[in-house]
C-alpha cells in the first residue's frame, strides 16, 4: 500500500494466488515496478520513510556483492557450485533493476542464506512485518480464493468478547454465532485483527442482518458445518426489527446423549449437570487451561476451558453447583482404551445456575480433588486407592522396559488426523474407521517402561505407557532409527542402552487405580550438574 498499489489490485492478486504469500508479494512489486521510472531508488525512499533500515542495509549489501562479484567473476573455477551460479544470476538481475528477475532468481539463495538466521533469532522488524501482514489479511482470508457476494440473512445469536490470540504476536479476534434459515445448524463466524472493530460496531446480538462479501467455507473438521470469515469487505445491512425471526431452540441433552461421534465439533446444550471437581488454571502448553468435571445420572464428562491469558478463563463456579451449559462444543479422542468424549467451552459458551434441581446425591464417592494436580513419589502413587487426573513425579529413572511383544512398540496411526487414533489392519491395507478408507498410515512409537524413584531407589516401581511424544524424549536421537527398524533385536539393543544411561526424568501421569499401566501425559529430562 505504501507503493500506491490500490486495495482492489491487492485483492485481485490475492484471488489469483491464494495461499502463496511469496507470489502475492512478488506480483505486487512487479505491478509497481512497471509504473516506476527508477524502481530501486523509489524502493529505497519508501524504506527510509517507513524506517526500514534493515531493508536498506540488505539492498546496499547486495549492491556491494555485485561489485565484488564482477571483480572475481572470471577467476571462478568450473567446480563452483550451483548455489553460486544462482547468486551470480541474481546479481546480474539486480544490476538491471528488474524486480521480477531479482525475486525469482534469488529465491533459493535467500531461502538457504537467511532461513537459519530468521528461524533461530527472528528480528523485531520481521516479527512486526508478520504482525502487520496478519492484521491486514488473516490466515483464514489467505486460504480462500474470493469473497462470496451472495446475500445471506442471519440472526446474531451470540457475540464473544474481543480476545487476544496468537503466541508471539498478539492479535485481536471476535467470534459470532449466527443462525440462518438456509442451514439447519447454527453458523460460527469470526473476524480478526483490524476487522474486529468494524464487525463489533456494525453487528449486535439479537439483531437481523443481510450480509454479503463474506468468506463461506466448509469446516475442516465436519463436512456438514459451514464457517464464515467476516472482514471490512463484508457488506452489513440491518433488517428492521419487525422482520426479525427467532432461531430454533435446541433441547437440552444429558451427558450420555452427547457421547455420539455425529455430534463432534458441534455446539450443544447440556444439563442440568452438577460439578464434582474443579481444577486450577494451569499452562500445559502455550495456552492456559482450566478443567471441570461434570456429572448427571447418565454419566460423567470433563469440560476444558482454554485461554491465551489466565484472565481469559472466567469460570467462577464450584463443586456442588448445578448448571445448564449452552453452546459447548463436543470433542472426541480415540485412545487405545476406546473413545473418550469431552466438552470445550469456547467463545459462545454460557453457564446458567439451576438451584431448583437437587443433584447433591450424585457427589457421593466423587473425589473433590480429582482434577487438582499433586506431587508425589512413586512409593506414594502405587499406594493410592483413588484415581487422579494428574500427578507430578519430580525425580525418576527407568529401571527396565517391558520385554513382551516387540511388534506392539510400533503402532500405525492415521496420517491425516491425530485424534483418529490407530489404524486397523485389513486385507486391503491399514484402515481408518474415521476416514473410512485405507491409507499408508504413520508409524508411532509406544513403549512400556518401569520407573523407580531417584536418587533414593526403593523396591517399589511403577509401570507407565509412553506414547509417541514421550517416547521421542526417552529415545532422543535414536528415535527415528528405532521407529523405522523392523529388527526386534536392534530395538531391544537401543532400549538396553537407554536403561544403562541412568537419565533422571520429571514425569507427569494420569493415574487410574484399576489399570496395570499408567499413562504418561508428559516427560522431561532433568539436567544433571
Q: Which residues share a beta bridge with 335?
A: 338
* Cα–Cα–Cα angle for 388, 389, 390, rounded to 5 degrees: 95
Q: Which residues pair with 506 in a beta bridge?
A: 524
Phi, psi of 344, deg, nearest 5: -125, 125
- Kindly state the helix (H) or strand (E) to which residue 467 belongs, with its residue range: none
What is the pTM assigned to this prediction? 0.63
Q: Is the separation of the CB atoms in 140 and 312 below 8 Å?
A: no
The CATH number of 378-409+446-526, from 3.40.720.10, 3.30.70.1290, 2.40.50.140, 1.10.3300.10, is: 2.40.50.140
The verdict on whether omega for the bond into residue 272 sits within 30 degrees of 0, i.e. cis, is yes
Q: Give the per-residue pLDDT at 523.
A: 92
| Cβ atoms 450, 474 nearer than 8 A | no
Which among 482, 444, 493 is positioned nearest to 466, based on CA atoms?
Answer: 444
Cβ atoms of 215 and 196 within 8 Å: the answer is: no
- Give the residue extent of every domain in the chain: 1-65, 151-238, 255-366, 378-409+446-526
Bridging pattern class, strands 338-344 and 322-335: antiparallel
pLDDT tens string 243-297: 545 555 567 789 999 998 888 888 889 989 999 999 999 988 888 899 999 999 9
**Pairing state between β 267-278 and 518-525:** unpaired
Please determine whether the domains at 255-366 and 378-409+446-526 fall in the same fold group of CATH.
Answer: yes
The rounded Cα 347 to chain-centroid distance in angstroms is 16
Rg from Cα positions in the chain: 29
pLDDT of residue 218: 61
Show the cell assigned to 127: 516479527
pLDDT on residue 139: 42
Residue 352 neighbours by CB under 8 Å, 6+ apart: 271, 323, 324, 326
d(CA 278, CA 402): 35
In degrees rounded to 5, what are phi and psi of residue 523?
-145, 140
Strands 208-212 and 235-238: antiparallel
DSSP 523: E
Instruction: Tell me the C-alpha distance between 424 and 348, whole Å.
Output: 37
Q: Where are the alpha helices (DSSP H) in 235-332?
A: 255-258
417-439 pLDDT, tens digit each = 777 778 888 888 888 887 788 88
Tell me the three cell numbers of residue 343. Answer: 466438552
Residue 389 host element (H or E): strand 388-401
In the chain, which residues have pLDDT < 50? 72-145, 220-224, 244, 405-407
How would you classify the pairing of strands 374-375 and 388-401? parallel
CA 82, CA 1: separation in Å to the nearest integer?
A: 36
Evaluate the CA torsion angle 499, 505, 507, 512 in order and state its sign.
positive
Grid coordinates given for 206:
439479537
Residue written as grid cell 503466541: 167
Other beta carbons within 10 angstroms of residue 15's beta carbon come to: 13
Residue that is written with C-alpha cell 488473516 in the block: 138
What superfamily in CATH does domain 151-238 come from? Answer: Nucleic acid-binding proteins (2.40.50.140)
Q: What is the CATH number of domain 255-366?
A: 2.40.50.140
Q: What SS3 class is residue 98?
A: coil
Q: How far is CA 387 from CA 196, 227, 277, 320, in A?
A: 44, 39, 13, 20
**28 preceded by cis ω (within 30°)?**
no
Alpha-carbon span 1 to 416, nearest angstrom = 38
Amino acid at each position: 500500500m505504501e507503493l500506491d498499489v490500490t486495495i482492489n489490485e491487492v485483492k485481485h492478486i490475492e484471488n489469483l494466488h491464494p495461499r502463496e504469500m511469496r507470489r502475492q508479494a512478488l506480483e505486487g512489486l512487479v505491478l509497481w515496478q512497471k509504473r516506476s521510472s527508477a524502481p530501486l531508488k523509489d524502493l529505497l525512499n519508501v524504506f527510509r520513510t517507513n524506517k526500514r533500515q534493515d531493508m536498506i542495509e540488505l539492498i546496499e549489501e547486495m549492491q556491494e556483492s555485485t561489485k565484488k562479484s564482477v571483480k572475481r567473476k572470471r577467476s571462478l573455477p568450473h567446480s563452483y557450485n550451483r548455489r553460486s551460479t544462482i547468486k551470480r544470476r541474481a546479481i546480474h538481475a539486480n544490476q538491471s533493476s528488474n524486480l521480477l528477475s531479482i525475486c525469482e532468481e534469488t529465491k533459493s539463495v535467500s531461502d538457504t542464506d537467511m532461513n537459519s538466521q530468521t528461524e533461530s533469532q527472528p528480528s523485531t522488524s520481521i516479527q512486526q512485518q508478520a504482525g502487520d501482514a496478519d492484521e491486514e489479511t488473516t490466515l483464514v482470508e489467505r486460504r480462500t480464493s474470493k469473497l462470496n457476494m451472495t446475500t445471506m440473512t442471519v440472526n446474531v445469536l451470540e457475540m464473544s468478547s474481543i480476545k487476544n490470540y496468537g503466541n508471539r504476536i498478539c492479535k485481536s479476534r471476535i467470534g459470532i454465532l449466527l443462525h440462518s434459515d438456509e442451514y439447519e445448524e447454527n453458523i460460527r463466524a469470526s473476524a480478526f485483527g483490524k476487522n474486529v472493530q468494524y464487525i463489533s460496531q456494525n453487528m449486535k446480538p439479537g439483531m437481523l442482518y443481510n450480509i454479503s462479501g463474506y468468506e463461506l467455507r466448509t469446516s475442516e473438521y465436519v463436512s456438514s458445518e459451514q464457517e464464515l470469515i467476516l472482514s471490512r469487505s463484508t457488506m452489513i445491512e440491518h433488517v428492521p426489527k419487525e422482520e426479525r425471526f427467532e432461531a430454533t431452540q435446541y433441547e437440552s441433552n444429558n451427558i450420555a446423549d452427547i457421547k455420539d461421534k455425529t455430534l463432534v465439533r458441534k455446539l450443544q446444550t447440556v444439563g442440568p449437570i452438577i460439578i464434582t471437581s474443579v481444577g486450577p488454571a494451569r499452562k500445559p502448553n502455550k495456552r492456559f487451561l482450566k478443567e471441570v468435571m461434570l456429572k448427571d445420572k447418565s454419566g460423567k464428562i470433563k469440560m476444558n476451558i482454554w485461554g491465551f491469558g489466565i484472565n481469559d478463563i472466567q469460570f467462577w463456579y464450584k463443586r456442588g453447583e448445578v448448571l445448564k451449559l449452552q453452546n459447548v462444543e463436543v470433542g472426541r479422542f480415540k485412545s487405545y482404551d476406546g473413545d473418550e468424549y469431552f466438552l470445550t467451552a469456547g467463545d459462545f459458551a454460557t453457564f446458567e445456575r439451576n438451584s431448583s434441581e437437587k443433584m447433591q446425591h450424585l457427589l457421593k464417592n466423587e473425589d473433590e480433588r480429582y482434577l487438582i494436580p499433586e506431587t508425589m513419589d512413586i512409593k506414594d502413587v502405587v499406594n493410592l486407592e483413588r484415581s487422579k487426573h494428574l500427578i507430578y513425579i519430580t525425580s525418576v529413572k527407568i529401571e527396565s522396559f517391558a520385554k513382551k511383544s516387540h511388534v506392539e512398540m510400533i503402532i500405525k496411526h492415521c496420517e491425516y488426523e491425530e485424534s483418529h487414533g490407530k489404524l486397523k489392519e485389513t486385507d486391503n491395507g491399514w484402515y481408518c474407521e474415521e476416514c473410512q478408507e485405507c491409507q499408508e498410515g504413520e508409524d508411532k512409537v509406544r513403549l512400556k517402561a518401569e520407573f523407580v524413584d531417584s536418587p533414593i531407589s526403593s523396591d517399589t516401581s511403577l509401570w507407565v505407557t509412553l506414547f509417541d511424544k514421550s517416547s521421542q524424549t526417552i529415545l532422543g536421537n535414536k528415535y527415528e532409527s528405532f521407529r523405522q527398524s523392523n529388527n526386534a533385536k536392534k530395538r531391544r539393543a537401543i532400549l538396553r542402552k537407554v536403561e544403562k544411561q541412568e537419565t533422571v526424568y520429571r514425569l507427569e501421569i494420569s493415574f487410574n487405580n484399576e489399570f496395570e499401566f499408567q499413562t504418561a501425559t508428559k516427560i522431561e529430562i532433568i539436567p544433571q550438574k
